[in-house]
Chain A
Amino acid sequence: MIRLAKLCFIVAVLMAVTSCSSLRLDGVDFGWPVESVVTVSGTNMIEDIRYSVKAEVAPLAQEEFQDSTALRGARLRLLRSSEGYYFLTGVKFKHVYVFSPGPSSLTLYRAIPVSDGGLRNPALNQRPPYVELLDGDALRTLLTSDDIVEAKK
């Protein structure tokens, strides 16, 4: 009997804990309607005023160009997908970088290779559930946060 009471108590506590931690809002659309074109400052910072995003891109420059100062003055294309990932690329980039947001940070989720010679005139469009990458008239690619879904040249 006592064992049964203990079991009931433990189950009740577990249910309470589970119900507290499982509060979840589904069907959230994080997508921006249009990409932001941001210019890298002298201190390697980018800032989007409309969505209040600010980040340091020196590690990205190091990763893509092996030079932490390579992006100074460059214009980067930043778009948040409907899932909530940040897609980032720019001229001469060979990859589209997909970041997942965390507490005061953006963590690289995927670096999707898109061009061997580097992009010349890239643009990101929101095409739910995908993100479209254009490179002038030369390339049209649909991306997910993991990979390329469809590429047309």
Chain B
Amino acid sequence: MIKDIYTGLKDIGMHYDAILTGYIHGHESLKATGEICIDVKRKNPNTLWVLDPVMGDEGQLYVSKSVIPVYREILKSGKVDVITPNQFELELLCDQEIYDKKSLHSAFRRVHKECNVKHIVVSSLNLTAEELGFQSDNEDSIYCCISSVDLPYPVIFEVQKLNSYFTGVGDLFSALLLDRMFKTKGDIISSTNQVLSVMSKVLFVTRHFAYTNNVGKCVQGRMGDPTTMKECELRIVECREFYSDRDEYFNPIMIR
């Protein structure tokens, strides 16, 4: 089906400046997706390809296990410009656990080398500052981490951890990152910083509406609970005016 649709698009002479791939459940669709994107890149090497290897989170896989080798295969093509895994997904891609700075470094090295990916942006890293080799006064932090063939060392941003579940955060993150990478012509640090800044505004607004809709009581979104999940859908439409903002709220820190 995916390939059929792509054939249709090709038949009418479509041209794409960028490709974004996200949630794909089975290895067959993923394989087809890979072939399509590689075909687009072959025709136009300047097409920016951002791949979000959506597989799971916090130790839980939510796609078929058979997609893991297919993702590795696709990355080996060397045609993917940016990947945006979370920590768990990065661990799956490089087949190693990440528990400190050293293991993080080696995971990045492997993905760059074996998988030939230019930029890796780990949207959420559940390590402490100490484990990452620096100090922070903040207890409730997660880290967004960039590794790039253009950078000598990974760069992290410290982000406040939110005590609730929001749906679609990763998808919005990847989409915005694609746009910023395109517009900054590949400045991965600035792009990520801008995206994190937009995201913080979107989360601020989403939490605000969740709070006001529940008359003074903020819901804590939980998976599988329809009443609270509804409030934890990102307020994508309300936040329209933020998407072009260029603020850079965060401090890039290099970890050696």
Asked if A and B bind, the verdict is: no
